[in-house]
Amino acid sequence: MNAKPEPAVLPLDVERIRADFPLLSRTVHGKPLIYFDNANTSQKPVSVIEAVDRHYRQHNANVARAVHTLGEEATASYEGARDALARFINASSRDEVILTSGTTQAINLVAYSYALPRLKAGDAILTTVMEHHANIVPWQLVAERTGATVKAAPIDTNGELILEKFFEMLTPEVKLACVGHVSNVLGTVNPIREIARECRKRGIPLLVDGSQAAPHRRIDVQALGCDFYAITGHKMLAPTGTGALWARREHLMAMPPFFGGGEMIREVRFEGTVFADPPHRFEAGTPNIAGFAGMAAAIRYIEDIGFDRLEAYEQDLLAYATKAIENLPGVRIFGRAKEKEPVVSFLLEGAHANDMATLLDLQGVAVRSGHHCAHPLMHFFGVPATLRASLAFYNTKTEVDGFIEAIGKVRKLLL
């Protein structure tokens, strides 16, 4: 009996989608905006903007503090974002999801609440050369305080993690491994399931920085098999100052709070304090309530599109953009991994990345130049900076063509 064919993935109506993003219709220096800086921050659809506006117009109150109607509405909205995030990453329980200001806070939470109390002189934390500074500096800070060390696993010239080297470096003194799911500079997708499997064999917890993965691919923390997973809202259509840490329940129950204050306690006496259970134990103070109303709306927007359609479109756009950039004279592309998200970092011979970005802005093109908060990666490739074009599902091939045309104009000015 023949198996049923897989249902076809419906194409995106990108022009209709673009109409949902007000900022995409503006001009810069008299030119139509081409926004290719999505790895830095994404643009926001009307539904997200309206969710934030609606909170302040209709529901503005603090959470978990008042029994009046506005307080209950604000609390329901805030906790609804936790439910949406738990569904979005397939957490086994909403209580495993801590709402944070973003990945940086999430990683620091693990550094100070999980790693710091456990590390001692002679221990090590293993990360990789391709990491964002947010997945390097917190580990250095806690290592300095404990006498531990931070080790970095190497990558190859294609920008792929050398897995056998990484596994060799999972030695007994390693107490935590920390890996980005997707490189913000190279677009490289790391094989998290395989890495998590090898970490589990050795009893080493694994933290994953998912900032650049969550906007582009379906995340299933249970299937990945990691211990901690951090995401940032503003890179996936949500407002700034939003994000989350997912962690296994057993870790959260054993972790002391990182911040102290209101809403993370059961009872406070001068003789001592009894802390709330996770996740609220780690959410001291007044949170970004309106921002999380927007984050819930962002998740709904992405889910309505569907990751199958989103990924198929972005991979086609990445292939188109990569080929177009490859055809530029004197170009050097950084990151040739077999599995990538829609990021292309490159340099043109004789042109500095910052000069290129400045002149491209005059053509209405927004791209990122610099070290991308990844100094060790820049050192590996022997360059001070790259130009990075990072794409999203609301970008188009017509914009890619306009980008290449703008580079041609800039080249005449610089070279």
Catalytic residue of the set 178, 199, 226, 373: 373
* Beta-ladder partners of 229: 208, 246
Alpha helices per DSSP H over 55-156: 69-89, 103-109, 137-146
Contact indicator for 77, 293 with CB cutoff of 8 Å: yes
Contact indicator for 159, 170 with CB cutoff of 8 Å: no
Contact indicator for 128, 155 with CB cutoff of 8 Å: yes
First to last CA, the chain: 63
Cα separation values, 188 from 130, 140, 197, Å: 9, 24, 19
Cα separation values, 76 from 30, 280, 285, 364, Å: 44, 15, 17, 41
CB atoms within 10 A of CB 56: 11
Residue 372 carries which side chain, given as an amino acid letter? Answer: H
What CA–CA distance (Å, rounded) separates 328 from 323?
Answer: 9
What CA–CA distance (Å, rounded) separates 283 from 102?
Answer: 13
| Helices first, then strands: H and E counts in the chain | 14, 17
**Beta strand 243-247 with 124-128: parallel, antiparallel or unpaired?**
unpaired
Query: Among this protein's residues, is 199 annotated catalytic?
Result: no
Which residue is listed with tokens 């710091």? Answer: 116
Contact indicator for 212, 181 with CB cutoff of 8 Å: yes
What CA–CA distance (Å, rounded) separates 196 from 191?
Answer: 9
Q: Which tokens belong to 174?
A: 């390693």
The residues, ordered by sequence, that sit 6+ positions from 187 with a Cβ below 8 Å of its Cβ are 212, 318, 335, 337, 340, 341, 342, 343, 344, 345, 390
Contact indicator for 385, 370 with CB cutoff of 8 Å: yes
- Among all residues, which ones are annotated catalytic? 373
